[in-house]
Amino acid sequence: MATRNAMVAGNWKMNGSLELVKQMSDAINNVEFQKMDIVLFPPFPLISAMIASGVATGTQTVSENTPGAFTGEVDAQLVKDLGAQYVLVGHSERRSIYNESNATVANKFARAQEVGLTPILCIGESESEQENGQTEHVVAAQIDAVIKKLGVAALKDSVIAYEPVWAIGTGKTATPEQAQAVHKFIRDKIASLDSDLAQGLTILYGGSVNEKNSELLFAQTDIDGGLIGGASLKADSFTAICNSAKGTV
């Protein structure tokens, strides 16, 4: 079986400050984490400061387009040139608030890889879709959009983050068993196309993860770490979550 490093990623959303960059980077850089990747996703104006702090940095989105007349958008190549390494694509807030379709997300995924950024593909179902038993159908379609555009091999240089929409920022969290079941479905789906790739693919769980529930979530066979929201704005909470991901895989 392929070895997968644990990963904990913090999505700051539209929060943060230069002071928080310092607090978080000091906390992360002063703790030794074994065999794991820690990435923070601050708002665009804080990216350079985060990169300079020595913490692996990603952006919360990029444009699917190459440079041009797209006011307010940010080019993936520019982000890469600054020193960022990752980008979130398809976060549920981008899908729901900004109407990003599966096709748009696939285009952003492609653009990220084109310039050498590692995309973290966010997938997940709404509460109504979950209640109607559509979870597997929804997440499969979100993954298939990328596979249709780029082929399954493109997933090798990526990360997948399963975030049930009903658990993001709501305080609701999938039970470890619920989360594991979906993660296994995702890995099995990809394994049906490329088993080696699937075994080496890092799949994260997100959705109201905190220092109290992270250890049980990360102990599941197919959960390789977490995409953290609110708790990534608190140094003590975030480092505690990182500690609980040690030895995940």
The catalytic site residues sit at 91, 163
Token reading at 110: 């492609």
* Separation of alpha carbons 31 and 84, rounded Å: 21
Q: If DSSP codes are grouped into helix, strand and coil, which group holds residue 147? A: helix
Q: Which pair of tokens denotes residue 85?
A: 């390494």
Residue 18: alpha-carbon gap to chain centroid: 23
The CA-based dihedral angle spanning residues 142, 145, 146, 149, taken in that order and rounded to the nearest 10 degrees = 180
The residues near 200 (Cβ < 8 Å, ≥ 6 apart) are 2, 3, 4, 156
